[in-house]
């Protein structure tokens, strides 16, 4: 019996040791399983955090894009308004310039008419003076006085000729000197 008991005890000890060993294996497997589960949870958590970070980043980029787009739109609208303002100002300036141009043209036409009238009066006055010299020369018997009167008349004729040349030319800065001399000689020889 002792042997049997001892064998039984031995078997019992072996069984207990096996059970303890199995229990340790199970505990190790449970711990490993928990570690794997924890690792999977951590991976899942990291993936969720990464996904959340990506979404957060995407939202930040989207928000940034919306802000940039808003700023661009605001800039374009402001630029458009500014352009319209400048166009309106330019249009007003063009109207003012057109109005001033019209007034200047009207004033120029009036001045042209006045200048033509002045030229006409000067021409008539010079012709009257020449005619007066001519009439007076019929009543003078003295040769020296007649010569002086004739010389004065010739001077007035040369002034009338210069005036006529200026009046007929487009510009007052120059006259055709050859034509003037030819016509002066013709008038003096008459």
Decide: 123 and 164 in contact? Cβ < 8 Å: yes
Query: Which two three-digit tokens encode residue 11?
Result: 């078997």
Supply the pTM of this predicted model.
Answer: 0.48
DSSP 174: -
In tens digits, what is the pLDDT along the chain, a chain of 190 residues?
A: 667 777 777 877 788 888 888 888 888 888 888 888 888 888 888 888 888 888 888 888 899 999 999 999 999 999 999 999 999 999 999 999 999 999 999 999 999 888 889 888 988 998 999 899 889 888 888 889 889 988 998 888 888 888 887 777 765 566 666 776 777 677 667 6
Query: Which two three-digit tokens encode residue 92?
Result: 């007003």
Decide: 126 and 145 in contact? Cβ < 8 Å: no
Query: Which two three-digit tokens encode residue 55?
Result: 């979404």
Decide: 163 and 126 in contact? Cβ < 8 Å: yes
Residue 18: what pLDDT?
Answer: 82
How far, in Å, are 107, 111, 165, 167 from residue 172 at the CA level? Answer: 20, 15, 9, 8
Distance CA 32, CA 30 (A): 5
Decide: 188 and 157 in contact? Cβ < 8 Å: yes
How far, in Å, are 36, 39, 82, 145 from residue 47 at the CA level? Answer: 16, 12, 51, 131
């Amino acid at each position: 019996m002792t042997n049997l008991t001892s064998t039984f005890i031995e078997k019992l000890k072996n069984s207990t040791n096996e059970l303890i060993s199995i229990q340790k294996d199970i505990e190790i497997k449970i711990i490993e399983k928990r570690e794997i589960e924890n690792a999977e949870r951590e991976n899942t958590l990291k993936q969720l955090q990464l996904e959340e970070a990506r979404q957060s980043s995407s939202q930040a980029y989207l928000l940034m894009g919306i802000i940039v787009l808003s700023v661009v739109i605001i800039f374009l609208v402001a630029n458009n308004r500014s352009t319209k303002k400048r166009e309106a100002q330019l249009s007003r300036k063009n109207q003012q310039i057109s109005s001033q141009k019209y007034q200047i043209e009207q004033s120029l036409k009036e001045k042209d008419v006045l200048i033509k009238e002045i030229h006409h009066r000067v021409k008539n006055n010079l012709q009257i003076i020449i005619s007066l010299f001519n009439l007076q020369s019929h009543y003078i018997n003295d040769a020296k006085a007649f010569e002086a009167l004739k010389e004065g008349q010739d001077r007035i004729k040369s002034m009338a000729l210069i005036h006529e040349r200026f009046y007929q030319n487009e510009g007052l800065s120059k006259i055709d000197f050859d034509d003037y001399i030819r016509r002066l000689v013709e008038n003096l020889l008459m």
